[in-house]
Amino acid sequence: MTALIKVRGLAAGYGDTSAVRGLDLEVHPGEVVALMGPNGAGKTTTVLTLAGELKPLAGEIELMGSSARLPLHRRARRGLALLTEERPVFMGLTARQNIAIGGCDPEKVITLFPELKPLLTRRVGLLSGGEQQMLAVGRALSRHQARLLLIDELSLGLAPKLVTRLLKAVRAAADDGLGVLLVEQYVRRALEISNRVYVIAQGELRFTGTAVEARDKVQDIESMYLSAPQAENPGAMPVTDDRKG
């Protein structure tokens, strides 16, 4: 099966400073691939580079079988969708207007998250953080042309029950053929819905394997490569902005 995105020898960063070096990675249709690592490992840098927001310092990126040297808006036309940790919604527009932007299927959004239905005429800036994230995820999963979704920190600032719902929606979309690269602080929850795992630390790839293999070694992986889980959120890693290191 042809990979939706394939990365070989990627170096990425800001200016001349690389946050990621020598990264090999690929995502196929119908799978969720988890990208994990401690604070400052380069996860956000990787996602932004794959999306076209940052230019790679070295290496090759193939998107849908073709070399990717395109900006984000042109990659989007090829079927790439990006969900950043900042919740990419338009705060000054209503929920209905947000859904209408970008070729989204409004019925699918409401089916995924029925609680958005009575909020369609409300300005998004007045919604709660959880409602905004449901809208953002619903939009990303309901785009007619979406084939590959890059997600950076889906659960940031959200209640655990909502995180579970969002992750289940992502898994269901993958089961329907969408390819997903998922950066997620809830390590063990992410492993429950993932097919494969990449772990990076200090900008380099440290572990590659199936989610089953990672679950069997999760304590070793956490102790060797990931920051210690926070007591109030078992299986969670502290959140970071890779651009700070």
3-state helix/strand/coil string of 91-106: CCCEHHHHHHCCCECH
Write the CA distances from 27 to 45, 106, 194, integer angstroms.
17, 27, 11
Q: For the domain 5-79+147-244, what is the CATH superfamily, name and number?
A: P-loop containing nucleotide triphosphate hydrolases (3.40.50.300)
Q: Which two tokens stand for residue 161?
A: 């029950």
pLDDT per residue as tens digits for the range 116-129 = 999 999 999 999 99
Q: Which H, E and C letters describe 181-192, residue by residue?
A: EEECCEHHHHHH
Average pLDDT for the chain: 87
pLDDT on residue 121: 96
pLDDT tier, 229 (very low <50, low <70, confident <90, very high otherwise):
very low
Q: Which two tokens stand for residue 149?
A: 């979704």
Partners of residue 66 on adjacent β-strands: 63
Asked whether the predicted pLDDT for residue 240 surpasses 50, the reply is no
Greater pLDDT, 236 or 102: 102
pLDDT tier, 68 (very low <50, low <70, confident <90, very high otherwise):
low
Quick one: CA torsion of 190, 82, 209, 232, rounded to 10 degrees? -30
pLDDT per residue as tens digits for the range 4-39 = 999 999 999 988 888 999 999 999 999 999 999 988
